[in-house]
Amino acid sequence: MRAALLFFLGVIAANAAPLTEIIGKDGSIMILIPVGSFQMGSTNHAPDESPERKVTLPAFYIDTYEVTCEQYENFMQATGRRPPLDWPEGKLPPKLRKFPVVNVTWNDASAYATWAGKRLPTEAEWEKACRGSDGGVYPWGNSAAGKKTASGADARDKAHPEGRTFPVGSFPDDVSPYDVMDMAGNAWEWTADWYKGYPGNDHFDVEFGSKYKVIRGGGGIDYFQAKATRRCADRAHALAHSAHDAVGFRCVQDAK
């Protein structure tokens, strides 16, 4: 009788819908992105975003906010990882505790994700979390008008003394259909993928290949020659061993 009951409970658990929110090992609130299809890419902008196509993904969780300096400090203390380049004498300035951590390499970000029991998002996962199943141009829809984000010129003029980013969640307008925050601005974000042409893309780019990692999000400042457009499909790229004061990250994990 007991064995039958345990089997029955196991069947229920195996077929239960995943929670809409969970708390990650690092304390991050993670939001469920449900299984299903979305429109990825764009045919009206940069050639590396083409072709626009339907992509289907399994369910996964994504951090609501970018990883903060405070969270990264916890990771450093637990693992002995080196501090970001912009921390004076390797110490986190108290005023930056709630800001997205930047000046970390792709390898640093990947190590953090592993420590937290997570991973870096693929491009497709990041873009779906940003634009939703309806394929919005921006996290909030198809028009940029009236939306205040860290990528806006007015916001950049009012940035903190270092002139880079803002505390996570500073711009309530910058919210995706799944309630993921700061995807149109604040820091650019590392993804898991190499910078390559999409399937069906006939554009030749000498930088395609396994040399650069894709960054997403359009930071509060421009990343070298990559302008912050705030569009969900926008792609930029960086060397995995490089660090920049515009580039941070957030993490995902599979929904089991």
Q: Please provide the size of the chain in residues.
A: 256
Distances, alpha carbon 10 to alpha carbons 3, 19, 22, 44, 112, in Å: 10, 17, 21, 49, 33
What average pLDDT does range 131-140 have in this prediction?
93
Q: Are strands 188-194 and 247-248 parallel, antiparallel or unpaired?
A: parallel
Residue 90 has pLDDT above 80, yes or no: yes
What average pLDDT does range 175-195 have in this prediction?
96
Contact between 219 and 187 under an 8 Å Cβ cutoff? The reply is yes
Residue 216 has pLDDT above 60, yes or no: yes
The structure's pTM equals 0.90
Residue 64 has pLDDT above 80, yes or no: yes
Fold of 20-254: paralog of FGE (formylglycine-generating enzyme) (3.90.1580)
For helices 106-115 and 69-79, the axis angle rounded to 10 degrees is: 80
Question: Hey, where are the domains in the chain?
Answer: 20-254
| 88: phi then psi, degrees, rounded to nearest 5 | -60, 125
For residue 153, name the pLDDT band (cuts at 50, 70, 90): low
Q: pLDDT tens digit string along 25-45?
A: 999 999 999 999 999 999 888
What average pLDDT does range 125-137 have in this prediction?
94
The residue type at 57: L
Q: Which structure tokens are listed for 60? A: 């996964």
Rg (CA), the chain: 19
